[in-house]
Amino acid sequence: MAAGRSLSRSERKAAARVEFLRQEEQRERRRQVVPGGQKSRRGGASRGAGLGNTPPFPSSLFPSFDQVSRILRKPAADRSADEAMLLSGCQEMVRDLERLRKKRERLRRRLEEVCDEPDELKRKVSKLSAVVQGAKHLIVYTGAGISTAASIPDYRGPNGVWTMLQKGRSIRVTDLSEAEPTLTHMSIACLHNNKLVKHVVSQNCDGLHLRSGLPREALSELHGNMYIEVCTSCTPNREYVRIFDVTERTALHRHQTGRLCHKCGAQLRDTIVHFGEKGILQQPLNWEAATEAASKADVILCLGSSLKVLKKYPHLWCMSKPPRHRPKLYIVNLQWTPKDDLAVLKLHGRCDDVMKLLMDELGLPIPSYDRMKDPIFSLAVPLQPAEESSHSRKPVAPPTSLHEVQLGEEQQMHPDPPSGGWFGRGCAKGTKRKKNS
């Protein structure tokens, strides 16, 4: 999904994850425990009271949240006798603090990136290779992690979009026109050409699967494609593939690109599915093929996805089937995912590293990306003369040296970084667009 200007419910929930712990600690600091059997303002018994009506120490010395927290941070051997007695007198507060600490630690561990040792990773890849060769219907689910090698940030990694926003840090602007299919993209396309992969379901909007040569019928881009705009007034919908990012003027619940259908004259719209939206377009989302492939799958390979969004699509996991009849799950990701416990095998490694080892095991050479064979140039619909000024995005460089020279000159003349669009909106969250006078 793409980052929008205004935060949806899902985004707010994700952004509040870290904020929750800070707020919880502040609430506890404001809560002064009342000694003995005295009632609090809520009408309940005191949280810090002992078993009887008499506190184990004078009320003037009754511990605060901060005092207990500081003592608990000390090793048990370093605590004084008075501190040990103080803790024994407020066991409920101690239990609350321990629960909070464990929850904070659990969240921290889930955000950590873990890499398997080289020998361990090779051992796991060898197992995965046997599974890939023996699978009758293998499908691949991909996330932002397979595009980080193309300098496109992910969302939940240490430097991901949501991670940086939660920390209140700015996001670097990325020129997506310069991104090329990675080793993982090319490996997946090769596996499909060799009939080892039946279908690919992607959460990515960057269009790199399409540009790797993967056939359209074998691809479901559940959250859209930044290079495709459609006319929904035509039946069937008329699709326009461009060589530039069509989302410059679009955002959450605002999808019109400013260009018109060449046939009926209606407004074109982008294909991006933002957080909080439901994808309704047949293409490039291709939900029908995705659910059909999932129903036939005996193996699912997840590459570079946190699965926090994909887990919400039950049709992709065949949850209506008995557990023993569901496809076997294999996950490649550096961080924890909510499907880890269901996976037959979890490989902690970077997608390019794992796919290189896998292709070596399978004895398949990984094709290099060739701009001359990039399907986007043959699929692209040229702009009409009146539409040339409808965008300011840098196009994908055509496979000719002349155009590369021209684009280099244009880049020197227009050095400003791109803004807006499905990725840029998330980077510029909170800013307001100035109206042209």
- Residues at the binding site are 231, 234, 261, 264
The catalytically annotated residue of 185, 223, 274, 348 is 223
- SS (HEC) of the chain: CECCCCCCHHHHHHHHHHHHHHHHHHHHHHCCCCCCCCECCCCCECCCCCCCCCCCCCHHHCCCHHHHHHHHCCCHHHCCHHHHHHHHCCHHHHHHHHHHHHHHHHHHHHHCCCCCCHHHHHHHHHHHHHHHHHCCCEEEEECHHHCHHHCCCCCCCCCCHHHHHHCCCCCCCCCHHHCCCCHHHHHHHHHHHCCCCCEEEECCCCCHHHHCCCCHHHEEECCCCCCEEEECCCCCCEEEECCCCCCCCCECCECEEEEECCCCCCEEEECCCECCCCCCCCCCCCHHHHHHHHHHCCEEEEECCCCCCHHHCHHHCCCCCCHHHCCEEEEECCCCCCCHHHCCEEECCCHHHHHHHHHHHHCCCCCCCCHHHCHHHHHECCCCHHHCCCCCCCCCCCCCHHHHHHHHHHHHHCCCCCCCHHHHHHHCCCCCCCCCC
Known binding residues for Zn(2+):
231, 234, 261, 264
- Catalytic residue status for 325: no
Active centre residues (catalytic): 223
